[in-house]
Chains A and B, each alone.
Chain A
């Protein structure tokens, strides 16, 4: 597998930001009241992520290490502002329903996380594909949660009535608690599938959601940085 497709696969499946890395939980829980909101949020983030990864990767040798955070933020904020205006101009409906969460993409930890742990250390092309992979992974995650919540909470998918008229929607699923229920169930489901596949393929089950970027990982205290080296050795060995 070449580097670019590997990056996309990594973002979509292996290190899916929503279900595996558990990054960007704030928009994940807040805007996924319907599938279309999930897609809108995911694609906006993807656009910002690709552009910011590209620019940060280009500038990685120019940005001094000591001020890299402010520099990244400036880059990200510029792209978020562009996306913000574009959405307001072309899809005002979506813009209204996403509301405050569009400007909040600036502080989305996926974008800063990828800038810090990948784009600032790698060449341009893999960084762009890393952005595409991570962004699509985020979009898929948000859309899945949005579909389940919309289906149970309103009986619709993408605004179309799919449940019979006699169905009484469980309103709680489009309110805040529903986001937690659905996210937890989907994460449990994908962990189950992952363990099942790992058992089948006789691979050692990968320690939950850890690949690289240990320095910026919130769970470093738990794993103690062991797993990265271990997985890397395994990969090199294979």
Chain B
């Protein structure tokens, strides 16, 4: 058949960008945080956990798809992103096999059993983090920096102690491997924004609604020091820029994205201020993931000519 008269169904406009390209850009954007985390926790040998977790994610995707005789989709790099994100969400002292277990759970249970990439109803990396958090509560909340064990700055903040905001910005603090350095995360986030991979709607509405919530209910009023500490502490930045914006588990409509961001902001504030533990970003994001189908249903744009006022 003549190529000029190729008859096909929609979509008719195609782009060179593929899933693999986008995932590659996300991996590149995660590199600053990863490299900083590995350097920051060099005494705890964080690199082993990062490598093992990522490899386990890729391997389990490959083995599952081979076993189930499905097309192998390792090349689209989505398993690498999942594994890497999971590793960045783990405390550096976690035994490597727990990271691998989390990666297998993320890929096999959360992603593949629901139909593979594009079908998972919640972020696989975060679901795996919560799985590990419930399984090994002690190990997952055991934080070490420079050989000294102690609470994370967020826990100190909750206990009413003073924290050093500058350290939290740079990342010389206790925490999970990838969440400590706000600067490294922001470098990656800027890259994604400039490349057009993510837009500001979700992280923007997330962070703004969180700040408003903290201002009203935090008990400190509009205290810049307190709010900055809350923004730079814990997984808020990593979650807002890299995990809330996951294409599969976030709404596609514009107004839906804003509602979704506000949901996460309110839930995160609620968990952090009134919850039992100091951190609540991962639970806030996966609960909001569950609301996405409802949000999309409510914000579906009306086709031209249908409905409207009479």
A-side interface residues toward B, CB under 8 Å? Answer: 168-172, 175, 177, 181
Contacts of B137 in A (CB 8 A): 171
Known A168-B98, A171-B137; 15 more pairs at CB < 8 Å: A168-B136, A168-B139, A169-B135, A170-B101, A170-B135, A170-B136, A171-B134, A171-B135, A171-B136, A172-B131, A172-B134, A172-B135, A175-B134, A177-B134, A181-B109
What is the chain A residue whose CB lies nearest that of B131?
A172
A164 to B109 alpha-carbon distance, docked (Å): 26
What is the chain B residue whose CB lies nearest that of A181?
B109
A177 to B130 alpha-carbon distance, docked (Å): 12
Minimum CB–CB distance from B89 to chain A (whole Å) comes to 17
A164 to B134 alpha-carbon distance, docked (Å): 21
Q: What are the nearest 6 A-B pairs in CB distance? A: A170-B135, A172-B134, A172-B135, A171-B135, A172-B131, A171-B134
A177 to B105 alpha-carbon distance, docked (Å): 13
Contacts of A169 in B (CB 8 A): 135
A170 to B105 alpha-carbon distance, docked (Å): 12
Total count of chain B residues near the partner, CB < 8 A:
9
Contacts of B98 in A (CB 8 A): 168
What is the chain B residue whose CB lies nearest that of A153?
B135
Q: Give chain B interface residues in 107-150, CB to chain A under 8 Å.
A: 109, 131, 134-137, 139
A171 to B136 alpha-carbon distance, docked (Å): 7
A169 to B137 alpha-carbon distance, docked (Å): 11
Which of B101, B136, B137 has the most A CB atoms < 10 Å from its CB?
B136
What is the chain B residue whose CB lies nearest that of A173?
B135
A177 to B122 alpha-carbon distance, docked (Å): 15
Contacts of A177 in B (CB 8 A): 134
What is the chain A residue whose CB lies nearest that of B133?
A172
What is the chain A residue whose CB lies nearest that of B134?
A172
Minimum CB–CB distance from B209 to chain A (whole Å) comes to 29
What is the chain B residue whose CB lies nearest that of A170?
B135
Q: Provide a sorted-by-A list of 8 A–B residue pairs whose CB atoms are within 8 angstroms.
A: A168-B98, A168-B136, A168-B139, A169-B135, A170-B101, A171-B136, A171-B137, A177-B134
A170 to B135 alpha-carbon distance, docked (Å): 5
Contacts of B109 in A (CB 8 A): 181
A170 to B131 alpha-carbon distance, docked (Å): 9
Contacts of B131 in A (CB 8 A): 172
A169 to B109 alpha-carbon distance, docked (Å): 19
What is the chain A residue whose CB lies nearest that of B136?
A168
Minimum CB–CB distance from A10 to chain B (whole Å) comes to 31
Contacts of A171 in B (CB 8 A): 134-137
Minimum CB–CB distance from A168 to chain B (whole Å) comes to 6
Which of B109, B131, B134 has the most A CB atoms < 10 Å from its CB?
B134
Bits for B204-224, please: 1 = Cβ < 8 Å to A, else 0.
000000000000000000000
Minimum CB–CB distance from A154 to chain B (whole Å) comes to 12
Contacts of B101 in A (CB 8 A): 170
A157 to B109 alpha-carbon distance, docked (Å): 25
Which of A172, A175, A177 has the most B CB atoms < 10 Å from its CB?
A172
A169 to B101 alpha-carbon distance, docked (Å): 13
Contacts of B136 in A (CB 8 A): 168, 170-171
A171 to B98 alpha-carbon distance, docked (Å): 13
A172 to B137 alpha-carbon distance, docked (Å): 10
A83 to B2 alpha-carbon distance, docked (Å): 80
A157 to B136 alpha-carbon distance, docked (Å): 20
Contacts of A175 in B (CB 8 A): 134
Which of A169, A170, A181 has the most B CB atoms < 10 Å from its CB?
A170
Contacts of B139 in A (CB 8 A): 168
A170 to B97 alpha-carbon distance, docked (Å): 13
A168 to B142 alpha-carbon distance, docked (Å): 15
Minimum CB–CB distance from B225 to chain A (whole Å) comes to 37
Minimum CB–CB distance from B261 to chain A (whole Å) comes to 27
Minimum CB–CB distance from A177 to chain B (whole Å) comes to 7
What is the chain B residue whose CB lies nearest that of A168?
B136
Contacts of A170 in B (CB 8 A): 101, 135-136
Q: Give chain B interface residues in 129-178, CB to chain A under 8 Å.
A: 131, 134-137, 139
A168 to B139 alpha-carbon distance, docked (Å): 10
A201 to B240 alpha-carbon distance, docked (Å): 55
Minimum CB–CB distance from B69 to chain A (whole Å) comes to 14
Minimum CB–CB distance from A188 to chain B (whole Å) comes to 10
Contacts of B135 in A (CB 8 A): 169-172
A168 to B131 alpha-carbon distance, docked (Å): 14
A166 to B109 alpha-carbon distance, docked (Å): 26
A170 to B102 alpha-carbon distance, docked (Å): 11
Which of B101, B109, B131, B135 has the most A CB atoms < 10 Å from its CB?
B135
Minimum CB–CB distance from B104 to chain A (whole Å) comes to 12
A204 to B131 alpha-carbon distance, docked (Å): 40
What is the chain A residue whose CB lies nearest that of B101?
A170
A183 to B136 alpha-carbon distance, docked (Å): 22
What is the chain A residue whose CB lies nearest that of B113?
A184
Q: Give chain B interface residues in 71-109, CB to chain A under 8 Å.
A: 98, 101, 109
A181 to B131 alpha-carbon distance, docked (Å): 12
